[in-house]
Chain A
Amino acid sequence: MTSNTQSIGIVGAGIMGRLLALELKWQGHTVTLFDRNDRDGRGSCSWTGAGMIAPYCELEAAERMITELGVYSAQRWPKLIKKFAEPVFYHSRGSLVVAHPNDRNELERLRRRVIDNAPRPDIMEEVDGARLGELEPELAGRFPQGLFFPFEQHMANRDLLRAMGKTLETEGVKFVTGFTTQTISSGEISDGHSTHTFDRVIDCRGMGAKSDLPELRGVRGELFYLHAPEVNLSRPVRLMHPRYSIYIVPRPNNEYVVGATAIESDDDRNVTVRSSLELLSAAYTVHTGFAEARVKEASVACRPAFPDNHPRIHTADGLIRVNGLYRHGFLIAPALSEFIASYIQTGAIPEKGKTLFREA
C-alpha cells in the first residue's frame, strides 16, 4: 500500500478534501473526489468560514497545538496558492486585536496567552491609539490600545474553494459532485447503488462522518457577509469582549465577513436573532460605518469537533479518516494535508504530526 502510484478515493470536498486531493495528485496518485454538494463547495463548513490564517489570535480560545499547526500551515499557504489555476484574494498584512476601554483586561488575557504559548517575541506588537491609527486609519481615535500580529494572513475562503475546484479540473482529478455517500470502508465508497473501489479511501466528510466517528460533535458557528461601502479596513480586526468577541475580515470591494458564534449545538438552521444582535452590534461598536452596510448573507455551519477540539487522523488498512478540524479548517489544513500525504508516500507517521494520528 505504499507504492508510488495508488488509486485514491476522497469523500468530502471541503478545504481538507480539496487540498488533500491536489497534494496527492501532485505526488502522482490517481485521485477521485466525491461530494454531496457542488463544485464550489456550497454546503460545506469551509463555505461558511472567514478564511483567517491567525495562529496567534486563535489562542483566544484554542490551545498551543492549533497555533503550531497554524504557523506551519501559514508557511505553506503562499506556495500552495501560487500553484492554483485561478487567483485567490489573499493577503499577509497581519491582524489587529482591539477592545473597548472597559474590556481592556480581555486584551491582557490574550497577550498573556500568546506570551505563554508562542516562543517568538516578534510575533506580537503592543500598539497604542496612534500606531493603531497608522495601521488602520479609520480606527484612529476609536481604541486607546490594541495588539498587532504582523505575520497573520487572511484570504477569501469561497475564492479559494472555487480556485481549488478549477485546479482539480486542470490537474486531472475526477470530481464527482451530488454524490450521497452511504458507506465508506477499506478501499470502498458506496452511495447505496454502486460501489467505487480504490487502493485507499480517505474520509474528509466532517459532520457527515458522525455515525462512523461517535465522539464527533457539532459546534454551531454563525457569521455575516456584509457589504459596507463606508468601511475601509485592510486587515482582519478582532474585538475582544467578555461575551461578544467577534472578528471582522475584509474581502474585496468593501465586503466583510463578521463572525462568529461558537454554540455547543448541531443545529444548522438559520441564524438566530440573538446571534445577529450580538455579532452586528459588536461590529457596529468597532466601526459605525457598518450601520448602513447591506447584509448580503447570514451563514451557518456546524463545525466538526472531537472532545479535545483537536483534529484527528484515524488510519486503518486502506482507509484514513481525517476530522475534527473544528473552526480551524483554513488555519490547519495545509499541515494536516502534508502529514497525510507523507504518511501515504512513506507508510510512516511523520514526526511533526504524530500526536494527531490514531492507528487502528
Chain B
Amino acid sequence: MWKLADKELTNRLIQGTAQYPSPEILCESIRASGAEVVTIALRRQSPKDKAGARFWELIRGLGVHVLPNTAGCRTVKEAVTTAQMARDLFGTSWIKLEVIGDDYTLQPDTTALVEAARILVKDGFEVLPYTTEDLIVAQCLVDAGCRVVMPWGAYIGSAQGLTNKFALMTLRKRLPDTTLIVDAGLGKPSEAAHAMELGYDGVLVNTAIALAKDPVSMARAFGDAVRAGRAAYEAGLITPREMAAPSTPTIGQPFWHSERRE
C-alpha cells in the first residue's frame, strides 16, 4: 500500500487516456495494468457543456480514481479555470497541473506553474504539478503546498526515457517527504522500473502504452515493471563496485588465469 495525496493505493502506475485506438482498448489496458489512477484531459471537450461525457463515463465505469489534467493550458488563468471546471465535472479536488511553455516540446512553463499551483492550493485543490527535473522549481512547488511533484523523464510522448537520471536522483534525495512521480517521456517498461528503483513513488505513462502494437499487453508489461522496480527498491539494491567480485572463491586457480589478455 502507498498513499497518493490522501488515497490509499496498491498500484503505483498512473495511466493517461489519450491516443488509444479505441475507448474499449483503453479500458482493457487499464484493467490489464491494474492502474488505479487515470488522467483525463478536458480542455478541448467543451467542459461547460459536458460534451465529452460519454467518454468520461466509460472511464469512470472502471471504478478508478480520476485525475483530471489541464493539458493544453498555456497561462495561469487558463489552467486555474480548467482546474475549477474539472472539480465541478468530476467531483474531485485532484488536479494534474500542466502549464505548457513551448508548443513543440510541450515543456512546462515552470514560472507560471508555480504561480498556478499557489492559487489552486489556496483554493483547496490537491495539486499534482507536471514539471521539469529542476530541484529549485520542485522546491518552490513543495513550498506552494504541493504534496506530490511530477518531474518529467523526457519530453511528453518522446519515449526517450530518463534523460537526466542524476537530477532525478537529486530530487529524490532532497525531497524525501514529497511524493515523487516520473511523468512523461517513458518509452519502455525497463525505464519505468528504473524510475521506481531510484525510489520514485510512481510513474505516469500514456503514449508508450497507447501507441504500442498491442496496448493491452504493453499496459500489463508496464504494470509488472513498476511492481518489479518498487520491489527492487524496497529490497535494497547493492552498490556497484569498481571491479568484478567473484561469487565463488578463486583459491586454487593458477594466477595467470586472471591476467588480462591484450
Contact = CB atoms under 8 A, between A and B. Distances in A.
A-B complex is real: yes
Interface of A: 61-63, 109, 112-113, 116, 216-218, 220, 242-243, 263-267, 269, 272, 274, 305-310
B241 interface: no
Contacts of A308: 22-25
Given A63-B21, A264-B45, A307-B22, A217 B54 contact: yes
A113 B44 contact: no
Given A263-B44, A307-B27, A217 B55 contact: yes
Given A217-B55, A263-B52, A266-B52, 6 more contacts: A216-B54, A264-B55, A265-B51, A269-B46, A308-B24, A309-B24
Given A218-B54, A309-B21, A263 B211 contact: no
A307 B44 contact: no
B156 to A, nearest CB: 9
A265 B52 contact: yes
B52 A264 contact: yes
Give the interface SS of chain B, mostly helix, strand, loop or mixed: loop
B169 interface: no
B213 interface: yes
B157 interface: yes
A272 B49 CA distance: 15
A305 B26 CA distance: 15
A308 B23 CA distance: 6
B29 to A, nearest CB: 13
Interface in B123-177: 157
Contact of B157 (A242, A269, A305): A242
A272 B51 CA distance: 14
A62 B25 CA distance: 12
A17 to B, nearest CB: 23
A309 B22 contact: yes
A62 B21 CA distance: 6
A242 B46 CA distance: 23
The 6 lowest CB-CB distance pairs between A and B, nearest first, are A217-B54, A267-B51, A309-B22, A264-B55, A308-B24, A265-B51
Contact of B24 (A109, A264, A269, A307): A307
Given A217-B55, A265-B51, A274 B44 contact: yes
Interface string B20-64: 011111010000000000000000111001011111001000000
A217 B24 CA distance: 12
Contacts of B55: 217, 264-265
